Every structure is written in structure tokens, then in C-alpha cells.
Amino acid sequence: METKTNTSSGKTSAFREFWEDYHSEVWFGVVLAVIVGASTYASRFIPNRIFDVILTPALNVATFATAFFGAWLVFRHTDGLRLRRLWLYALLIWGLGDLCYLACYLVAPMKVMNMGAEHLTTYELFFGNLLGWLMTLYPTETLRPGWLNWKIVLWQLLPMTALVALDYIVPMSLWPIIAFYPYVLLIVVLTHIRAYRRWCEDNYSSMENIDVQWVIRYCIMLFIIGANYVYMCFTNGHTRAFTQEWFIIFMLAYSTEQILFRKNPWEGVSAAAEEEPETGNDADRERLDAWMDAEKPYCNPDFKLMDLRAVLPMNRTYLSHFINNTYGCTFFQYVNRYRIEEAKRLMEQHPEMKMTEVATLSGFSSRNVFSHIFSRETGITPKEWSMKCNIS
């Protein structure tokens, strides 16, 4: 009976931790899915003539305009970053593709543009998958800088290309399989998230540098746009592309804004692998502990791994392994243990101090971050701990 209770408690704790970390992303996904679903349903009532003559050209013009304008912005602010160059190429390809689509639609309608067919043509499936792959460039390069090369690109696109080729050869249609291939690419992106978060925690002590929420939101959007793409594959009707078109515009704008303005944790840090370091010794630990107690560098919200070189002049990989092996935790966890102890000391010695001030003096970037980390580590909120401490 006791084992069941512990297991149940563990599951509840894990769910609570997940909800605290990603509840806003869950609501983001729910609201966005409702909006897309409502748009898809409402599009069925758009008269075919209005969609063909007005909405299709307008949406295509808006799409390639968004792609070209985004490409221009990224080109002006490339700053030598590989991620921005990749996204620049992706925007140009997307814009040119949509421009060609619009030209064919207006000047010389082709079978590939037959939006009223029973299901999407093989051409549409191929280009839909190709454009879907372009949407994964941004998160892949951000999560794993330099990982994406021509060999990996070929391995990602080869199965889809082979399926399209087989669709012409085998007697049975393979389009239901091809329609789901973008989800394979999405799964590849998801496999990098855990390593990305661990890398951030090994290098930074601030939650602002350990932002995985952006990629969760982006993957939710990829999942929704993939679901709508599958819906387009299994249905007919001229208006089935309405939702897909405006949602693509939204994603292109969102991605461009994130690439230009989101803080990149890799900035100033080499993503190349360094030599495997040796394990630190007790003298290194004593020096570090003494320095942390005397100087209190953790009170600086921007305190990062490389700041440890002030006492341990080693490379990044050595410092990361040293913290992991010596203290059994990430750098993020190591620093925030000091911050929590500092916060406890302040609340005990200065019960009149406001929580916002306690958070600032302890090195936390905000009161919300302080409350979140303190509750996770101690099991109670800072206010509850302060009341308990003062009563005793």
C-alpha cells in the first residue's frame, strides 16, 4: 500500500512539475488548435468563386511578401550567424516557390494546382513535405548548432523522395504514407530538446538563458500545421488550403521575429566539442567552495559557467564536467542551491523584507523565477518557509 502511495505521489509531483514548466505552452496549443479548427470548419462555407478569384491570390501574395520581407530583414542582420543564413535561404526558397505557384495559378493552371481534386497530387505532396522540412531548419540549428550538414539533409529528404518516386511505380497509391512524413521530421527535432536544455543548464544559472518554451511552442505549431496538412491530403474542396495559407504566414513571421530578437544561449560560446577533461581534485573543490562563500558571485543574475575561470582557469568542457562529477548536478542547479540558501538567510534575518527584494538580493532574475525554483527545491513556497521560520 505504501509503495502505491509513493508511486502515486511521484506521478503527481512529476505532473505538477510539468504543469508548472509548460502550462502556458499547453494553453497556447489548445487555443491555437481551436482557432485552426474553427478556421478550417468556417472555410467550408466560403464560396468557391470567392476563394479562387480573391482569397487564393491574396493569401499567396501575403505569403511570398512575408517571406521576402523576412529574408530582407534577416539579410540586413545576418551578423555572420549560420542560423540566420539558413533561415534566409529557407525564406527565399519559400517565397520563390509561392511566387511560382501564384504565377501558375493565374497564368497557366496545371494539374499540380488542382485544389479541387479528391486528394493532393504527388507533386503537391512532394513540395508540401519539402516546405515542411524547411520549417524544421530553424529549431534544428538552434538546438544543435552545426549538426545539420549536407549528409544529414540528404538522409532526411531521401525517404520522402523515394516514397514519391515509388508512388509512380507501384500500383497502389502511397500518398497516405507520404502525408505523414513531416511528423518523422518533427520527431527528429523533439529528440534534441533534452540535450539542449541540459547544455543550457550546464552553462547558465538564469532561467532566461534556459528557454525551451520557444521550441515547445514552435513544435506545437509544427504539429498543428502538420495535422492540417494531413486534413488537406484526405479531403477535397477548393477551400481546404485557406487555413494552411494564413497559418504559414503566421509561422514565417513568428520564426523570423524569434531568430532576430530571441536571445541565443550559444552566442559567444563555441559549439565545437573540446577534449575530454580529467576529473577535478579535492583542491579544486575547496578553492571553488571558498570562492563561492567569500565572493558570492551567485548574487549576480547573469552569473555563468565561464565566470568560474576566475578561480578555476580551465576550458568550458572541464568546468562543466567538474561541476557534474563533483556536485552531482548541473551548473544551474549548483548555483541556485547557493541562491536558495542566501534567500533563506535573508528571510530569517530580515522578516520584514519583501519577496521581490529577497529574490533580487539572492541573484534570481525575478520574483516568479525565485518562487518557482524555491518551491521546486524545498517543496514549499518562499512565503510559507518565511512564516514557518518566524513562528519557530
Query: What digits encode the pLDDT tens for the residues 18-61?
Result: 666 677 888 889 999 999 999 988 988 888 888 878 888 888 89
Let me know whether 44 and 154 are in one domain.
yes
Let me know whether 247 and 344 are in one domain.
no
Note the pLDDT of residue 268: 56
The count of other CB atoms within 10 Å of the CB of residue 141 is 21
Q: At what angle do helices 382-391 and 355-362 cross, to 10 degrees?
A: 100
Residue in 376, 309, 286, 284 with CA at minimum distance from that of residue 336: 376
Note the pLDDT of residue 256: 92
C-alpha cell at 245: 495559407
Q: Are 128 and 120 a contacting pair, CB within 8 Å?
A: yes
Q: Is residue 94 part of a domain?
A: yes
Between vectors from CA 280 to CA 198 and to CA 326, what angle results, nearest 5°? 50
Note the pLDDT of residue 17: 61
| Greater model confidence, 168 or 226 | 226
Instruction: Give residue for cell 468557391.
Output: 48
Q: Is residue 277 part of a domain?
A: no
Let me know whether 177 and 307 are in one domain.
no
Let me know whether 230 and 315 are in one domain.
no
Let me know whether 293 and 249 are in one domain.
no
How confident is the model over 337-386, as pLDDT tens digits? 999 999 999 988 888 888 899 999 999 988 888 888 888 888 888 888 88
Let me know whether 42 and 124 are in one domain.
yes
Cα(378)–Cα(376) distance, integer angstroms: 6
Note the pLDDT of residue 232: 81
Let me know whether 156 and 33 are in one domain.
yes
Structural domains of the chain, count: 2
Instruction: Give residue for cell 479528391.
Output: 118
Q: Is residue 135 part of a domain?
A: yes
Q: Is residue 127 part of a domain?
A: yes
Let me know whether 289 and 244 are in one domain.
no
Q: Is residue 267 part of a domain?
A: no
Q: In the chain, pLDDT over 90 holds for what percent of residues? A: 20
Range of the domain at 385: 282-391
Radius of gyration of the CA atoms of the chain, in A: 26
Q: Are 326 and 315 a contacting pair, CB within 8 Å?
A: no
Residue in 154, 57, 41, 150 with CA at minimum distance from that of residue 103: 57
How confident is the model over 286-297, as pLDDT tens digits? 999 999 999 999
Q: If you average pLDDT over every residue of the chain, what do you get?
A: 81
pLDDT band, residue 1 (cuts 50/70/90): very low
Cα(121)–Cα(229) distance, integer angstroms: 13
How confident is the model over 122-162, as pLDDT tens digits? 777 787 888 888 888 888 888 888 888 889 988 888 888 88
How confident is the model over 157-193, as pLDDT tens digits? 888 888 888 877 877 777 778 888 888 888 988 888 8
Let me know whether 77 and 201 are in one domain.
yes
Bridge partners (DSSP) of residue 387 are none
The answer on pLDDT for 215 being more than 50 is yes
Let me know whether 77 and 222 are in one domain.
yes
Q: Is residue 8 part of a domain?
A: no
C-alpha cell at 285: 573543490
Q: Is residue 276 part of a domain?
A: no
Residue 306: give its domain's CATH number: 1.10.10.60
Let me know whether 305 and 256 are in one domain.
no
Let me know whether 170 and 66 are in one domain.
yes
Q: Is residue 270 part of a domain?
A: no
